Amino acid sequence: MKILITGGAGYIASHTNVELLKENYELVLVDNFCNSVYESVKRVEEISGKKVKFYEADLKNYSELEKVFEAEKDIYAVIHFAALKAVGESVEKPLEYYENNISGSLNLYKCMKKYGVKNFVFSSSATVYGDPEEVPVKETARIGATNPYGHTKAMMEQILLDSAKAHGWNVVILRYFNPVGAHESGLIGEDPEYPNNLLPFVSQVAAGIREKVVVFGDDWNTPDGTGVRDYIHVVDLAKAHVKAIEKLKNNQGTFIYNIGTGRGYSVIEMIDAFSKACGHKVPYVIGQRRSGDVATVLADPAKSIKEFGYIAELGLEDMVNSAWKWQSLNPKGYKG
């Protein structure tokens, strides 16, 4: 079966590509390289020993995207990763985020309708829940995004659900919690120029690229006063997408799942675990709370376990060890 993957050279996509290729899916990747490089595609091919088709195209350009659908007429399903994704940046550049994420998705949905593609997996985010009223968070929780990035994800979801109802599409929406880590080979991983997420920043501090980690507040209502989050290994997350494709083969309708572990780790716990992985103390300082932050966000994974047969298998040690291996082997990311 042929799967079209948007944002196909990105962090989560590259790990998903490896897992799909293991299951002998044929992949067609689309990316405009605004947050990625072609080297990740080459390394996926190296890990898997298989070739993938690749198109450089921007989803905001309908004609570029349509050429892909025209050339690849037997697409079974789309996995939609492509989006700008930094919360802080989205607050500073809301128009850029709305234009990229919403317009790109609309073009993709239009192409699906025109070319009769009816199966879709959407890369969403726990950000859509905002500051949840109950923790762990269930899929039925109120949608209450608190920043432009989260709003775009919620809008992309709603447009997709409305389109699915109108056109008879089958949809799996995966709301990720906090993906971390890297492939066991150390060949692919997260490669941000300036990290927005905790673990890549800790990695760069451990490697001496940055001076210290700033911990945003130590007076939260948590065991050690620092924020607690549900971290999930990116390989476990990648395997959830294989499960999603399997779900679409055997089920019609729309399905929404949290993809997390239900186990939380504080910022200090993550820094301490990484210090152990790299063999030296990672320096940090306590800073002010960030606007919009919350004390604890955890997934309730019960629905994904029951309906989806999905259980995260890799723990904290796997997360930090793989992240450090990637950082050590690739001190400048994919650039060298």
Tell me the per-residue pLDDT of 118-155, one tens digit each, with 9 for 90 and over: 999 999 999 999 888 999 999 999 999 989 999 999 99
Q: Please tell me whether residue 179 adopts helix, strand or coil conformation.
A: strand
Q: How large a percentage of the chain has pLDDT more than 70?
A: 100
Task: Check whether residue 70 and residue 143 sit in a common domain.
Answer: yes
Higher pLDDT, 292 or 49: 49
Is there a domain that residue 160 lies in? yes
Is there a domain that residue 193 lies in? no
Given pLDDT bands bounded at 50, 70 and 90, which one contains residue 246? very high
Q: Is the pTM of this model over 0.85?
A: yes
Q: Where are the alpha helices (DSSP H) in 207-266?
A: 234-250
Tens-digit pLDDT profile for residues 189-227: 999 877 878 999 999 999 999 999 999 999 999 999 999
Q: What is the dihedral of CA 272, 284, 295, 260, to 10 degrees?
A: -50
Task: Check whether residue 275 and residue 170 sit in a common domain.
Answer: no
**Structural domain range at position 242:** 2-180+231-259
Task: Check whether residue 59 and residue 207 sit in a common domain.
Answer: no
* Residues 300 and 136 sit within 8 Å (Cβ to Cβ): yes
When pLDDT is averaged across residues 1-20 and rounded to a whole number, the result is: 98
CB burial readout 13-46, b (16+ within 10 A) else e: bbbbbbbbbeeebbbbbbbbeebbeebbbebbbe
* Residues 279 and 241 sit within 8 Å (Cβ to Cβ): no
Q: Please tell me whether residue 56 adopts helix, strand or coil conformation.
A: strand
Count, residues in the chain: 336
* Residues 285 and 212 sit within 8 Å (Cβ to Cβ): yes
Task: Check whether residue 33 and residue 169 sit in a common domain.
Answer: yes
* Residues 180 and 232 sit within 8 Å (Cβ to Cβ): yes
Q: Where are the alpha helices (DSSP H) in 23-141?
A: 39-48, 62-71, 87-92, 94-97, 104-115
Task: Check whether residue 164 and residue 299 sit in a common domain.
Answer: no
CATH at 138: 3.40.50.720
When pLDDT is averaged across residues 151-167 and rounded to a whole number, the result is: 97
CA–CA gap between residue 15 and residue 62 (Å, rounded): 27
> Which residues belong to the active site?
149
Given pLDDT bands bounded at 50, 70 and 90, which one contains residue 48? very high
Is there a domain that residue 187 lies in? no
